[in-house]
């Protein structure tokens, strides 16, 4: 809370501001249910994030006991989600606190609840993708940086573009490859994503397998490209071009690994611009790191 006041002086007003210390609160934390999705949507809209109600449904379907809500003064003050991938590692996402309740310990309480839930499930490693605001909180709870990611955004005019009709593809070959590259099986999640946006699934065939693949989601603000996986620059370029033809949106989001050899140069060529940094972090031994060198872009900070 900021206390501000003005005093009258000979040449007008002087304005003073003092940042008052925030009083910590002990929130009531409970499991989130489908009835809480509108409250989750409200918080993610305040934060300017891209998730939809379908994404909250996914969190609750894949982790019915592992999504949490913080209540303060009879109001929803924050959220946290978890997903366990094959008991190899788990993901924490959607750590969101209402700006009116920030800096009072609610983010920390939600994170501690999510970590305690995953430890009770004996998950050996917990991962997440941190915003700069979240990173401070995660470091204090023992999360370590693994690598850097950047959100890039394309703004374009699709005014006269006609929808490209393509036969929908079976994601099967991509799912087998994805387990090796992500480090754990996330078939159900990727099938759910391909099911809601089949037109945004792109495959790059090579011999009897794949040189790469890309999935996409339609968010509330933009189409989101990811995961975008490629064995070489040719496949990476082709997948990006195909995706941009298939999407009908004026705005595209993508979260690229900064140490990928091609991704940022390809995005630059297509008119994307840097938006904000993210840091992939883990807590516990990172035994299944996957193959990040083949990852141009992640699925999204909320899912990994
Ligand atoms: C990041 C966020 C969840 C933090 O929630 P919060 O309730 O304000 O965090 P807390 O009050 O529990 O603070 C936890 C710790 O982080 C520190 N911290 C939190 N925000 C901070 C800030 N802006 N600057 C410096 N330190 C900060 C606090 O001092 C506290 O440390 P302490 O426990 O050692 O005192 C909240 O700012 C938010 O919703 N941001 C927008 C969405 C977002 O970026 N989420 C993170 C996704 S990875």
Contacts with 68 (C-beta within 8 Å, 6 or more apart), sequence order: 29, 30, 31, 32, 79, 80, 81, 110, 113, 114, 117
Can you count the helices (H) and strands (E) in the chain?
8, 14
**What residue owns the CA closest to ligand 1's atom 17?**
137
Q: 137: Cβ below 6 Å to ligand 1?
A: yes
Does position 177 have pLDDT exceeding 80, yes or no? yes
145 in any annotated domain:
no
Q: What are phi and psi of 223, to 5 degrees?
A: -80, 140
Q: 130: Cβ below 6 Å to ligand 1?
A: yes
Domain boundary among the residues 108, 124, 140 is at 124
**How many whole angstroms separate alpha carbon 93 and alpha carbon 9?**
50
pLDDT tens readout for residues 256-276 = 999 998 999 999 999 999 999
Provide mean pLDDT across the span 205-214: 94
**Sign, CA torsion 256/258/262/268:** positive
Question: Which atom of ligand 1 sits closest to the CA of residue 140?
Answer: 34
Owning domain of residue 68:
28-124
- Predicted pLDDT of residue 168: 75
143 in any annotated domain:
no
pLDDT tens readout for residues 43-85 = 999 999 999 999 999 999 999 999 999 999 999 999 999 999 9
For residue 90, the domain's CATH number is: 3.40.630.30
Q: 104: Cβ below 6 Å to ligand 1?
A: yes
- Predicted pLDDT of residue 159: 82
- Verify that 154 and 293 share a domain, yes or no: yes
| E strands in 32-88 | 68-72, 75-85
């Amino acid at each position: 809370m900021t206390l501000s006041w003005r005093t009258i002086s000979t040449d007008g007003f002087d304005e003073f501001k003092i940042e008052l210390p925030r009083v910590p609160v002990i929130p009531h934390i409970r499991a989130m249910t489908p009835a809480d999705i509108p409250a989750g949507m409200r918080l993610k809209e305040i934060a300017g994030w891209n998730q939809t109600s379908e994404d909250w449904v996914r969190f609750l379907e894949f982790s019915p006991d592992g999504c949490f809500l913080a209540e303060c003064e009879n109001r929803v003050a924050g959220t946290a989600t978890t997903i366990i991938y094959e008991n190899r590692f788990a993901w924490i996402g959607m750590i969101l606190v209402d700006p009116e309740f920030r800096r009072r310990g609610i983010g920390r309480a939600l994170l501690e609840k999510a970590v305690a839930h995953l430890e009770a499930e004996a998950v050996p490693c917990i991962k997440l993708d941190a915003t700069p605001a979240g990173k401070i909180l995660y470091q204090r709870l023992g999360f370590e940086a693994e690598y850097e990611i950047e959100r890039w955004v394309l703004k374009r005019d699709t005014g006269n573009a006609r929808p490209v009709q393509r036969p929908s593809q079976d994601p099967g070959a991509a799912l087998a490859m994805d387990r090796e590259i992500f480090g754990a099986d996330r078939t159900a999640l990727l099938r759910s994503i391909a099911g809601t946006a089949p037109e945004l699934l792109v495959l790059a065939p090579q011999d009897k397998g794949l040189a790469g693949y890309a999935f996409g989601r339609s968010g509330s603000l933009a189409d989101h490209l990811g995961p975008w996986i490629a064995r070489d620059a040719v496949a990476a370029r082709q997948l990006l071009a195909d995706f941009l033809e298939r999407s009908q949106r004026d705005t595209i989001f993508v979260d690229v690994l900064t140490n990928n050899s091609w991704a940022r140069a390809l995005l630059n060529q297509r008119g994307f611009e840097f938006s904000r940094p993210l840091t992939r972090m883990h807590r516990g031994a990172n035994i299944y790191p996957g193959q990040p060198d083949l990852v141009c872009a992640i699925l999204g900070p909320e899912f990994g």
